[in-house]
Amino acid sequence: MPECRAVESLIAEFASSLGVEVKLREQVSLVPYTTLQAGGRARWLLEVRNTSEFASAAAKAQELGLRVLILGSGSNVLPSEDGVDELVLVNLCRRVEIRGTTYAETGAAFQDVFLKCAQAGLTGLEFAVGIPGTLGGALVSNAGAYRSNLSECLSEVEIVQDAERKWVPPAHLEFKYRDSVLRRPNPPAIALLAVRLDLKRDAPRAIYERARDYQRQRIGKQPPQASAGSFFKNVLDKSLARSLDGLSVSMQEAGVVPAGYLIEACGLKGYRIGRAVISTKHANFICNLGGATATHIRQLAEEAKRRVQDRFGVTLEEEVLYIGNWGAQE
Ligand SMILES: Cc1cc2nc3c(=O)[nH]c(=O)nc-3n(C[C@H](O)[C@H](O)[C@H](O)COP(=O)(O)OP(=O)(O)OC[C@H]3O[C@@H](n4cnc5c(N)ncnc54)[C@H](O)[C@@H]3O)c2cc1C
């Protein structure tokens, strides 16, 4: 197995480049690192606690050509039960500073960034309330809610690419609806370290009011069980939206068809495979009732896709990212 040996020796070189206080672990279960609480093991896993550790690890891995998977809170991923062979870097860099400019490291919880900005009278991130991931994961999927997206609030992003640490404009990440260059097939190796945000001023009280309103709407809709949030992206299709009688007028006008609407229309609320279930509260949430396997969760998602395709001729696109060795299921 020459390829395997090569990876082992690259990892050995990578490990020897780390400071003594940083520990590379092997065969680590990813269950506690994901909100779906499912999946196999990471062959190698390293937790990075400050941006200089993070930047050095990312640069060294890029220099060696090692494949890296960066994890924030694991709230938008489903790891295969067969594990993840990439080097997993868990991002625990959480510093947020508001002094003139607003600086936040990508391991900060997106909601904490919102709270600190709100306290300082900066508006724009209210939609982040209730989104459980880190700022880094939010960047990768251009996270959003209530018709706002993170990419609208950015001034600059600090990255490591081609083993070089640098600040780049947001356009470098090619943001679209729930998408960035990091979600495309064969994405470039980019580690997102930090951002500078571009936010407007408002009274903290008005900001909290808006956030509270969003939070109330969320509590009414979101199931309490373990999940990765919306499993599929909403469908942007004006003619489909207009053809659906049950859809609200505002959705029809905006040409937005919620994926949950389509899945529910196929009668799949409450549908189960093993301990994985399509939520009875919100059909775009696949939940783990406790002990669900990653394979069952993915099978459920495939079934929902198949039924929606058959009934509406629409191919749902996953918002959740499948990571690791999915092999034949890919
Ligand atoms: C209950 C619930 C509600 C949710 N509601 C919403 C919602 O309203 N809107 C929405 O958009 N999302 C929502 N989500 C999905 C998810 O929380 C967001 O996408 C979140 O921003 C992901 O962050 P994370 O840290 O968990 O990312 P992870 O799941 O850890 O990673 C996601 C992807 O980003 C990559 N990545 C993470 N950090 C970095 C980094 N620093 N550099 C490079 N790549 C990185 C990972 O490799 C992976 O490909 C919800 C999830 C849950 C569980």
Q: Among residues 178, 180, 279, 298, which one is catalytic?
A: 178
pLDDT digits (tens, 9 = 90+) for 62-116: 999 999 999 999 999 999 999 999 999 999 999 999 988 999 999 999 999 999 9
The residue behind tokens 């079934």 is: 303
Continuous segment of H or E residues that includes residue 159 = strand 154-161
CA distance 54 to 136: 13
pLDDT digits (tens, 9 = 90+) for 317-326: 999 999 999 9
CB half-sphere exposure, 143, CA atoms < 13 A: 25
Rounded to the nearest angstrom, the distance between the alpha carbon of 124 and the centre of ligand 1 is 19
111 lines ligand 1 (CB under 6 A): no
293 lines ligand 1 (CB under 6 A): no
Residue 186 pLDDT: 92
CA distance 37 to 132: 14
pLDDT digits (tens, 9 = 90+) for 11-59: 999 999 987 777 899 999 999 999 999 999 999 999 999 999 999 999 9
Token output for 88: 């997993």
User: How far lies 184's CA from each of 76, 133, 178, 235, 316, in Å?
Assistant: 15, 20, 11, 18, 16
pLDDT digits (tens, 9 = 90+) for 219-250: 888 999 999 999 999 999 999 999 998 899 99
Which atom, in ligand 1's list, is nearest to the CA of 141?
A: 19
Residue 213 has pLDDT above 80, yes or no: yes
User: How far lies 273's CA from each of 266, 301, 306, in Å?
Assistant: 16, 10, 15
Query: Cβ(311)–Cβ(266) under 8 Å?
Result: yes
286-288: strand order across its sheet: 272-273, 276-278, 286-288
**Mean pLDDT, residues 302-306 taken together:** 98
Rounded to the nearest angstrom, the distance between the alpha carbon of 110 and the centre of ligand 1 is 9
Strands 154-161 and 164-168: antiparallel
Domain 2-91 has CATH 1.10.490.10: no
Residue 6 pLDDT: 86
DSSP 55: H
150 lines ligand 1 (CB under 6 A): no
Rounded to the nearest angstrom, the distance between the alpha carbon of 134 and the centre of ligand 1 is 6
Listed by start position, the domains of the chain span 2-91, 96-204, 224-329
98 lines ligand 1 (CB under 6 A): no
Residue 2 pLDDT: 43
Residue 277 has pLDDT above 50, yes or no: yes
CATH of domain 224-329: 3.90.78.10
CATH of domain 96-204: 3.30.465.10
Q: Return the amino acid letter for 16.
A: S
Average model confidence (pLDDT) across the chain: 95
CB atoms within 10 A of CB 200: 9
* Phi and psi angles of residue 125, each rounded to the nearest 5 degrees, phi first: -105, 15
